[in-house]
Structure 1
Amino acid sequence: MWPLPISKKQLNKLGKRLSLHSTPEREDLLSLNQVLLAYQAILDDVKGSLDDIGLPATTRVKTTSTLIEKLRRESSMSLSRVQDIAGARIIVNGGRLEQDQVVKRIIDFFAPEHDVLPRAIDRRTTPSSGYRAVHVVIHPSGVPVEIQVRTELQNAWAQLFEGLADRWGRAIRYGGNPDQPRRVVMRLSRRRSLTRQSLMGMLTFASEEIDRIERLETYIESIRSFVSEVDSGTHKHWSLDDSGQLKPITGDDATDAMIHYRRIRRAFMETMESLLPDRRARGRLIRRHVPRNHSPTPQFVLERIHGCNLAVADLERARDEEFRHRTGATRLILDTLQRRLELGGPT
């Protein structure tokens, strides 16, 4: 059953009139308010469903002025197809892995309930003016509702950016320049100052750094998973028995050692390729820990496994230290700018 007070055809005609007229008719504004009240009721139901599956969310329905502005900016967009009139926001405590898990839970939960399948829009690899998140669009009763899923860093960046957009003009949300781009917002020294335009450059850098940090966190999780599988003997290429010896395959020690070594060499090379972008550094590690050997002994294979584990553990520690340093520096930038915003600056 269509949940809005007017038909989809009437809704699109209403949107067209609102986008064309500089001063909307009173009747059109009243109709739009009724539509937004209906969206609010739909959104309340969505929030209840998210609460039920342990995903508490904040929600909002676009204001009349914001929606009319969007219709005028995107004149070809039909009102019934605007997917973010009603929106929910979920902030995950972890990084991208947790974000992906939450997105999957939302899709799995709402897919059986709605005729239109949920659709995920990944704005992490293709950000909009630096904004990164994953949006899931669901269609309760055929009406689009957008659920934003953000990490803490993505949310901190977005909150700061939105606060600046309210002060410096909403054009920056769509790739435009701030109002008065050369206006000084911060004195760095007697000769150096920070303008609105240069601060926007800092935010762009922070957005890119957040992307690098979250990719790095994913790499670290992959390393930890690799180490855990090796330690437990469940890795597909590491075949050790409970006593830490190579599991028999053919019954011939020499043949088994050769098969095992080929497996661990391939696994280590694949792991390093995904975790270590520097090709030369990767090559040195591979030659050091899994050199070519056409007749390895069981003892040699066990030594190589031990060496590979140490190499991966060292890489994990280095990446973890880099992750903590970059995260701390980025949080400091965002927190400093946010405090200045709350205290009345940047202006």
Structure 2
Amino acid sequence: MRIEPKYSKNRVRSAGERLCESGQVNSDELDVVDYWRAAHQHPLDQMSEVLERFIRKGDGSFLACRLKRIDSIKGKLARESHTYKLNSMYDIAGCRFVASDLERVYQVVNDLSHLDTYRSSKDYIAHPKLSGYRCVHLIHCFDSPEYGYQGLRVETQIRTNLQHMWATAVEVYDVVTQASLKFGAGSRDEEYFFALVSQLFAIEEGTSCVPNVPCNSRDVLKELVRLNEQLRVTSKLRAYSESVSVVNEVAQQVHADYVLLTIDFDVQQIRLETFSPGKEKEAIAAYGRFERTKRESEDAVLIKASSMEDIQRAYPNYYSDISSFIDKLQECLP
């Protein structure tokens, strides 16, 4: 017997619209948004199971998945350049698969594109964004029988280690400087700096040039040196990266199904709360409670991964651990 959804998709859409309006969002609207996000937990688990088959031990690949933060949902819905609706947002549930190299990226993409659940893809490696963002995005659809919804979307991002290092470094820089580069709101020089770094990595991987950036390494390095002296990007990132402490971490706890990672940016402290298999609802409820009461300086994300190491590798922006990106960049700079 098919379960009827508690909220129609029209009701979900209107809750998303209210979420973007100025003023206080009432508890009823947040209940709808929480419910809609929770409905994506089963599709997220389904996609995670599929992706785990592609992990090869010892080749450096890893996987982590998450349910989107309320603040991120609100930010995406509020973008003036797009007309996103909550009921049709494709990345409420999202997975990051980092592959050993470019060849492996496209092997996984090809296999995933032949699944019955596959719907669409965008190749930002062959066609990088102006920002320098490079990755392949795929959308798959799964039902959420417990909540009564059909065809809920899950976005999977598949990229190389270099592409992953670049993307997470941008996110950490946004935290350090409040630049919002990820959403196209940084200064022209800051945006150009990271586009140049992406181009440097693209040259190393032999992929398409980033738009509006020199295609030869000599010119790229010359501009990078100039902008790094002006903006002090590497020194800012290194100072911030070395200031974060982690509490309540159970190292390598592979039996945890979901982990609620919370961070207080004022004191640079991370807390981790683990939830064993079968406790998914408790994890989602704890996520929602934290978001409703958090301070301005706090943030959280609910992550599904097989180990604490994979969480840190997949989301180093929360740990501010981007030492590999800094080391890689300083190796290249004269």
Please indicate the TM-score interval, normalised by the length of the shorter structure. 0.5 to 0.7
State the partner residue of 1:129. 131
For 1:264-312, what per-residue CA distance to the aligned partner results, in whole angstroms no more than 9, with x for missing partners? xxxxxxxxxxxxx9xxxxxxxxxxxxxxxxxxxxxxxxxxxxxxxxxxx
Identity value in percent? 23
Native 8 Å contact 1:90 1:148 kept in 2: yes
Question: What is the aligned length?
Answer: 213
Measure, in 2, the Cα distance between the counterparts of 1:133 and 1:3: 37
Q: Letter of the aligned partner of 1:90 in structure 2?
A: F
Shift of 1:199: 5.3
Measure, in 1, the Cα distance between the counterparts of 2:4 and 2:78: 25
Shift of 1:202: 2.9
In the superposition, the TM-score normalised over structure 1's length comes to: 0.53
State the partner residue of 1:71. 77
State the partner residue of 2:38. 37
Measure, in 2, the Cα distance between the counterparts of 1:3 and 1:106: 30
For 1:160-195, what per-residue CA distance to the aligned partner results, in whole angstroms no more than 9, with x for missing partners? 1111112222531122225xxxxxxxxxxxxxxxxx
State the partner residue of 1:214. 205
Q: Find out whether 1:16 has 2:23 as its counterpart.
A: no
RMSD across aligned positions (CA) = 3.5
Native 8 Å contact 2:119 2:140 kept in 1: yes
Native 8 Å contact 1:133 1:150 kept in 2: yes
State the partner residue of 2:89. 82
Q: Letter of the aligned partner of 1:341 in structure 2?
A: Y
Cα 1:148–1:205 change in 2 (3 A) is: same
Asked which structure has the greater CA Rg, the reply is: 1
State the partner residue of 1:204. 195
In the superposition, the TM-score normalised over structure 2's length comes to: 0.55
Measure, in 1, the Cα distance between the counterparts of 2:89 and 2:179: 18
Measure, in 1, the Cα distance between the counterparts of 2:97 and 2:234: 20
State the partner residue of 1:156. 165
**Could you list the runs of 5+ residues in structure 2 that have no partner in the other structure?**
57-61, 144-150, 209-214, 244-319, 323-334
Q: Letter of the aligned partner of 2:63 in structure 1?
A: A
Measure, in 1, the Cα distance between the counterparts of 2:207 and 2:69: 38
For 1:224-270, what per-residue CA distance to the aligned partner results, in whole angstroms no more than 9, with x for missing partners? xxxxxxxxxxxxxxxxxxxxxxxxxxxxxxxxxxxxxxxxxxxxxxx
State the partner residue of 2:307. none
Higher helix share: 1
Higher strand share: 2
Q: Find out whether 1:7 has 2:8 as its counterpart.
A: yes
Farther-moved stretch of structure 1 (168-177 vs 139-148):
168-177
Q: Find out whether 1:169 has 2:178 as its counterpart.
A: yes
Shift of 1:337: 7.0
State the structure with bigger RCO (CA 8 A, min sep 6), 1 or 2: 2
**Could you list the runs of 5+ residues in structure 1 that have no partner in the other structure?**
179-196, 218-276, 278-321
State the partner residue of 1:341. 240
Native 8 Å contact 1:58 1:89 kept in 2: yes
Name the SS of the counterpart of 1:73 in structure 2: coil
For 1:197-225, what per-residue CA distance to the aligned partner results, in whole angstroms no more than 9, with x for missing partners? 755533221111112222269xxxxxxxx
